[in-house]
Structure 1
């Protein structure tokens, strides 16, 4: 006999677990045959669209924008590698209602165009479930979301409906109409599960490629740890030694390096480093000689985060900044 306690536990799990309808018959038809078929598609879309739109975000990069989607309440984002452009980069995320938060790119796969990011601001965020079992099939009805051409609060994210027309292990193709700004946005099945991320927007509107969820799942741990995977075309691996700080420092009488000059509009100036500051440590390593500083900088790439412990007006302070690009 099943105990009442076990029954209650099963009921509690069922109540908190996402439930999805069985695969709709409409996916197996070559085309809708009547009004009822169209109404079935419409019903699926109207049921899941509000939640999907709340979790679809615009990724504002300053000089351009892309899209992404939140998949956990603590702000984990999936997007495209060519949108984030690298590991450890900060950018602004804009939600459907106009709310802005700061996010940081995590790992990516430069060969398949998959990337992760995480919202840095504390909070709970709207999110969508994702397909963990590769349950979609060729010909399935899908819908895409994205902030086409950039964020527009009055318009919101743009929805396009279509079907899967080609599938492989690392790429799926739909005939949803996408344009610039949609890159990195989500592709959903009719049950509202995330099945892919927009990658390559085709020259013709209905020809667009997406990164399937299985590609994210296979590289989940590595991307979560901010690893740069592959040698592909979608992101350029940071080059060590190209990190730029923009200051001149000399050995201090007592300890550390005393700042003698700060370049205009340099990362050092933007972070607030001033002439007269004494740099004691960089990333926890004591700076006793100028060569110590040079050796550390040889290992740094553009956009790397650097933490300085420095002495200012007799007080020890900690300052964190991001390096620029020596070639800029």
Structure 2
């Protein structure tokens, strides 16, 4: 796919990569607030497999050049063969309930990066299938639905095969990359399947490649040619050779929330809707307009009300209200505290879905 791919178009034509049973888990979610400061130092894997040293000629090709003949192709092939085993060793099959996806172990303690639509919700039971044949138990932790990033942890065993995280901010379009996963779900007689491709689009919250992915690859890793994790398989576009991945830096930026088991954000097409407009230039969250039949209208909010609390969050102004609405999902039931004249009023509402 050519360079002019835009994020809005890609998200408009997305399709989930998980095995179909995952799809129902996706049907109601939201967009995160500004992420906390990166905590990369806290999540850097210990004793990860060392990145491969690449021949300068090969490094130039992997950075975005084209191979010029069979000798270059053989160099590329030899390098891929050299690192395949360690990439496969860290790639795991993931089973949550009756549905399957993929993931990648990013430290020896057994933390697993995956896609949010694979993990579904925090504190779910997970079965991990390792490439060496082990079947281990674990649990889901946090998820950011807006980027489709999820975190899980293996809860039995120790000293797992794992790979280091790279820097997705340093990526450039045209770079060669590798994706692994379990297309069609985990199969005991098959190692994780490896696909070679190139980066087509690099943005802060989404990477697009032409690594062909299918159902079951969701949550599997995207690697640079040194074998570092740079993304997580997320969504299929049209055609199948234009696929989207969660940049690994988004996991670093939100690590504390993910590790605590928080769930926030919404998937594309599932934007929550409150149905109010704030008073212009107000220094608080004063309502200037309520849309008829909106969740706000049905809950009894009135023009002139000042929203002071939304769920457990204090609201200081209208932008802060918008941020906390976007962190929710359609269908969420929220307690809202408002100042109405001299009174303090508590209301309950159910968020709608934008466009409905």
- The whole-number CA distance in structure 2 between the counterparts of 1:217 and 1:63 is 30
* Structure 2 match to 1:218: 253
- Note if contact 1:85-1:235 (Cα within 8 Å) is conserved in structure 2: no
* Structure 1 match to 2:165: 130
* Structure 1 match to 2:53: 21
- Note if contact 1:53-1:96 (Cα within 8 Å) is conserved in structure 2: yes
Deviations 1:229-280 (A, max 9, x none): 223359999xxxxxxxxxxxxxxxxxxxxxxxxxxxxxxxxxxxxxxxxxxx
Q: Does 1:86 align with 2:88?
A: no
- Note if contact 2:168-2:247 (Cα within 8 Å) is conserved in structure 1: no
* Structure 1 match to 2:66: 31
Q: Where do 1:273-284 residues align within 5 Å?
A: none
**Shift of residue 170 of structure 1?**
0.2
Q: Where do 1:198-209 residues align within 5 Å?
A: 198-209=233-244
- The whole-number CA distance in structure 1 between the counterparts of 2:49 and 2:236 is 34
Select between 23-32 and 52-61 the one with higher mean Cα deviation.
23-32
Cα distance 1:94–1:29, how it changes in 2: closer, same or farther (>3 A)? closer
* Structure 1 match to 2:106: 71
- The whole-number CA distance in structure 2 between the counterparts of 1:205 and 1:17 is 31
Cα distance 1:47–1:235, how it changes in 2: closer, same or farther (>3 A)? farther
* Structure 2 match to 1:175: 210
Q: Where do 1:286-301 residues align within 5 Å?
A: none
- Note if contact 1:73-1:126 (Cα within 8 Å) is conserved in structure 2: yes
Deviations 1:60-105 (A, max 9, x none): 1232200000011110000000001111111111111321111111
* Structure 2 match to 1:186: 221
* Structure 2 match to 1:319: none
> How does the TM-score come out when normalised to structure 2?
0.59
In structure 2, runs of 5+ residues without a counterpart are 1-46, 273-356
Q: Does 1:155 align with 2:190?
A: yes
- The whole-number CA distance in structure 2 between the counterparts of 1:88 and 1:235 is 23
| Structure showing greater Rg | 1
- The whole-number CA distance in structure 2 between the counterparts of 1:235 and 1:73 is 36
Cα distance 1:234–1:68, how it changes in 2: closer, same or farther (>3 A)? farther
- The whole-number CA distance in structure 2 between the counterparts of 1:155 and 1:129 is 24
- The whole-number CA distance in structure 2 between the counterparts of 1:41 and 1:233 is 37
- Note if contact 1:90-1:102 (Cα within 8 Å) is conserved in structure 2: yes
- Note if contact 2:221-2:231 (Cα within 8 Å) is conserved in structure 1: yes
- The whole-number CA distance in structure 2 between the counterparts of 1:80 and 1:61 is 12
Deviations 1:86-140 (A, max 9, x none): 1111111111132111111111101110011101113221111110463321111
- The whole-number CA distance in structure 1 between the counterparts of 2:144 and 2:219 is 13
- The whole-number CA distance in structure 2 between the counterparts of 1:39 and 1:223 is 41
- Note if contact 2:48-2:164 (Cα within 8 Å) is conserved in structure 1: no
In structure 1, runs of 5+ residues without a counterpart are 1-14, 238-328
- Note if contact 1:97-1:153 (Cα within 8 Å) is conserved in structure 2: no
**Coordinate RMSD, CA, aligned:** 2.3
- Note if contact 1:58-1:67 (Cα within 8 Å) is conserved in structure 2: yes
**Shift of residue 162 of structure 1?**
0.4
